[in-house]
A and B are shown apart, each in its own frame.
Chain A
Amino acid sequence: MTSFFAMGGYGAFIWPAYGVSLLGLAAMVWQSWAAWRAAQKRLAALEEDKQ
């Protein structure tokens, strides 16, 4: 198991690389989704106002 994490001595580079990639993807997903929800909510509120 430790040898898996050590990655032949290159763990210090491989894990950050995957970590950063995951973080980047997750951040994009989160931001896009949050913006989508916010926009939807705003529209719904406005439509309700009109009625």
Chain B
Amino acid sequence: MFRYANPAQFMRLSGALLPWVSLFAVVALVSGTILGFRVPPDYQQGMTVTIMFVHVPAAIVAESAYALIAVASIFSLVWRHPLADTAARAAAPLGAVFTALGLITGSLWGRPMWGAYWVWDARLTSFLLLLFLYLGYIALWNAIEDETRAARAAAILALVGAVNLPIIKFSVDWWNTLHQGESILSGQIAPVFLWPLLTMALGYMLTFAALWMVRIRTEIVARRARSLMQRGEAA
């Protein structure tokens, strides 16, 4: 496992994978979009159902990214692996953007469906809180200059957040039933919608993977440059 986690190995491996992942991502996104616009209008939601194909994948990726950060943080804290720090840090801005996309597309869907861009539904609320968790995590990374220290602090925060996230979700659900939320997201999905959705979801995940790799690679190269500069000055 750790064999692939050394920076040189990672550069090689990701260098080989990156073109393919990117290619498949583009293919999946394009075909998913085409499929998406060819579905029949939903009997309840009309054509707005097409929003689902950009909304749900964004939401899924956004949530998985936080889980990835938490896992990377464990690696960072327990095994002190610098690549884990880099990976966690690189995932955060991506996760935040996907969260924002989920929120925006969701509220654009909500307007025709519920008549309001925003309602305090349980799922929406906990999703909004996820965005805040991302922002806090990113802010902490940026605020502490010393890299090792920032990495450790951010890892602790990510884990505290990850432990707390289910509790937050639970509490928000509880709150919502207390106050009788005004809607419930639709449960079952008709098979016609399933294929475009799955394709798009795949596309989003591959896009995330590709961007994640690029960002980790960037950080590795930047680190190399920094240490070169330091050595140059010492001479």
* Residue positions of A touching B, CB distance < 8 A: 4, 7-10, 13-14, 16-18, 20-21, 24-25, 27-29, 32-33, 35-36, 39-40, 42-43, 46-47, 49-50
Contact = CB atoms under 8 A, between A and B. Distances in A.
Interface stretch (B66-74, B155-163, B212-220): B212-220
A17 B104 contact: yes
Contact of A33 (B214, B221, B228): B214
Interface residues on B, range: 35 or more
B54 A21 contact: yes
B229 A46 contact: yes
Contact of B46 (A9, A32, A35): A9
Contacts of B224: 43
Contacts, number: 90
B232 A49 contact: yes
B232 A50 contact: yes
A45 to B, nearest CB: 9
Interface of B: 29, 33, 37, 41, 46-48, 50-51, 54-55, 58, 93-94, 97-98, 100-101, 104-105, 108-109, 111-112, 207, 211, 214-215, 217-219, 221-222, 224-225, 228-229, 232
B211 A29 contact: yes
B133 to A, nearest CB: 19
B203 to A, nearest CB: 9
A10 B48 contact: yes
Contact of A17 (B37, B46, B51, B94): B51
A14 B131 CA distance: 23
A7 B232 CA distance: 61
A18 to B, nearest CB: 6
Contacts of B229: 46
Given A13-B109, A28-B94, 14 more contacts: A8-B46, A9-B46, A13-B111, A17-B104, A25-B207, A32-B218, A33-B214, A35-B215, A35-B218, A36-B221, A40-B221, A46-B228, A46-B229, A50-B232
